[in-house]
Amino acid sequence: MSTEKRIQERDVVIQTIAKLMIPFIQLYGLYVMVGTEGAGGGFQGGTVLAASFILLVVAFGVDKGRMKMPEGWNAVFKSLGLYLYAGVGGLLCIILSLGAAEYLNYYGIPLAKIIGGPATRGFWVGNIVEVGIGVTVMAAFVSIFYDLVRKEESVEEEGGAEK
Amino acid sequence: MKKLHLLPTVALLSVILLGAMFMYVVEDIPAFGDPNSPPNKYVPLPISIDADGLAGSLDAGVVPAELKTKIAEIGYTRENHFPSLEEGNYKIDKTEEGWDVLITKGEKYEEYHPGPEKWYFIKEELGGKLKVYRYSIPVRWQEKTEEETGLPNMVTSGLADYRGYDTMYEETVIFTAAISVIMLLRRREKL
């Protein structure tokens, strides 16, 4: 069975439901990732976001999925999350406080002197650090899924060529 | 004669043993949410002295010298990075059950963690003895987390703030896993 034929045989019901659900899943993933007052955090939110892209690939095929979420962007997001956490959230503490604070000590950011300590610390930890975690987790899971899917397809193609 | 499958047998046995161990552990932990169980409230210290005359001193807000030496004997001293019970850096709150000893840590962390923290809990037992407890970490966490981190969520503050290094390297592990899968499975010609 060729790839084009399999794409044509995809179910209309699944595609319509996926189209309806994916935006809401992504919104929920963002809510879980950023909302520090509710349950969840970066790891859970990133996984929900990755699940939305996996649903996209399941419903519409790998090629459409790769068009929406290219692998180049995946690689960028993967490192960007780590940079957000380790680079910005950490180095800002040391450089901007001129060495007064330790690594990952958000209390040492000079903004804390202006706005008031705990509020600034909550902002950095709750939003920026968690978004950093979520972006890395999402990109990592989507990239692993793409690689596994590609392997499956190429094996099938080889099998078909033999017949 | 049937061949003995050694490896599957060992694997099955180890899985069963692991399950039994988990069941034992689950049976052994305190009831969930019990606020007075040791991990949630306080840990008993091996101190037990006569309460004669010491209770009045505690009511007056002074920790007696005998109690101080007993606490120092178990190794809760400044040399071992425990806050010391010196004049002026502690205060005593009397509650219905006993006495709370609140200590101001001072030193380097005064800027970050100002104010007194609950440290020891002293209780008069039935036999006229004084028992000393140490407050466990969850109590301090509950009481200080919002004031220190500005987050209303205890889990997030623990995950991303108090244990920032741990979370950072967890993220690195996931990143490394993704890179490993790319190196193993991705095909160059299709990039």
- Mutation for B interface: A37, A105, A129, A130, most B CBs within 10 A: A129
* pLDDT tens column, A15-48: 999 999 999 999 999 998 886 777 778 899 999 9
In chain A, domain spans? 3-158
- B129-135 and B42-50 beta bridge pairing: antiparallel
Whole-model pTM: value is 0.72
Distance from CA of A10 to the nearest CA of B (A): 24
Q: What is the distance between the alpha carbons of residues B150 and B49, in angstroms, rounded to a whole number?
A: 41
Q: Rounded to an integer, what distance in angstroms lies between the CA atom of residue A157 and that of residue A3? A: 8
Cβ separation of A71 and B191 shorter than 8 Å?
Answer: yes
Question: Going along B6-161, which residue ranges are E strands?
Answer: 42-50, 90-94, 98-104, 116-124, 129-135
pLDDT for position A5: 58
Q: Which residue has the tokens 């044509």?
A: A8
pLDDT of residue B174: 93
Contact criterion met (CB < 8 Å) for A150 and B159 = no
For residue A107, which of B148, B35, B142, B169 has the smallest C-alpha distance?
Answer: B148
Of A123, A126, A154, the CB nearest to B156: A126
pLDDT, one tens digit per residue, over A99-119 is 667 787 777 777 766 776 667
pLDDT of residue A54 exceeding 70, the answer is yes
Cα(B108)–Cα(B36) distance, integer angstroms: 32
Q: Where are the beta strands (DSSP E) in B96-163?
A: 98-104, 116-124, 129-135
Q: Does B180 touch chain A (CB under 8 A)?
A: no
Which among B148, B156, B181 has the least Cβ separation from residue A41? Answer: B156
What is the residue-averaged pLDDT of chain A? 80
Shortest CA distance from A101: residue in chain B: B112
pLDDT tier for residue A153 given thresholds of 50, 70 and 90:
low
Q: Which of A96, A103, A117, A42 is nearest to B149 (CA)?
A: A117
Q: How far is B167 from B174, CA to CA, in rounded Å?
A: 11
CA distance linking residue A32 with residue B47, whole number of Å = 47
| pLDDT at A139 > cutoff 60 | yes
Q: Please give the residue that has the higher pLDDT: either A163 or B160.
A: B160
The two tokens of residue A100 are 């007064």
Q: Which of A41, A48, A58, A69 is nearest to A143 (CA)?
A: A69
Residue A25 has what pLDDT? 95
Output the CA torsion B159→B160→B164→B168 (10° steps): 90
Indicate the DSSP class of residue B189.
Answer: G
Q: Which residues of chain B have pLDDT under 50?
A: 191
Query: What per-residue confidence (pLDDT) applies to A161?
Result: 46
Backbone angles phi, psi at B99, to 5 degrees: -125, 135
Put simply, the answer to whether A36 touches B175 (Cβ < 8 Å) is: no
- Amino acid making up residue B16: I
Nearest to A147 among B149, B175, B185 (CB): B185
Q: From CA A80, how far away is CA A83, in angstroms rounded?
A: 5
Per-residue pLDDT at A137 exceeds 80: yes
Q: Is a pLDDT exceeding 80 seen at residue A93?
A: no
What is the structure's pLDDT at B16? 96
pLDDT at A4 > cutoff 70: no
A129 contacts in chain B (CB < 8 Å):
160, 164, 167
| Predicted local distance difference test score (pLDDT) of residue A26 | 94
* Pairing mode, strands B42-50 and B90-94: unpaired
DSSP for chain B, written as a single string: -PPP-HHHHHHHHHHHHHHHHHHHHHHHSPPTT-TTSTTTSEEEEEEEEE-TTHHHHHHTT---HHHHHHHHHTT-SGGGT-----TTSEEEEE-SSEEEEEEE--GGGGTTS-SEEEEEEEEE-TTSEEEEEEE-HHHHHHHHHHHHH--S-HHHIIIIIITHHHHHHHHHHHHHHHHHHHHHH--GGG-
Name A129's Cβ contacts closer than 8 Å, sequence gap at least 6: A42, A84, A85, A89, B160, B164, B167
A95, two tokens? 């450089």
Structure tokens that stand for B72 in this block: 């120092």
Q: What is the pLDDT of residue A134?
A: 92
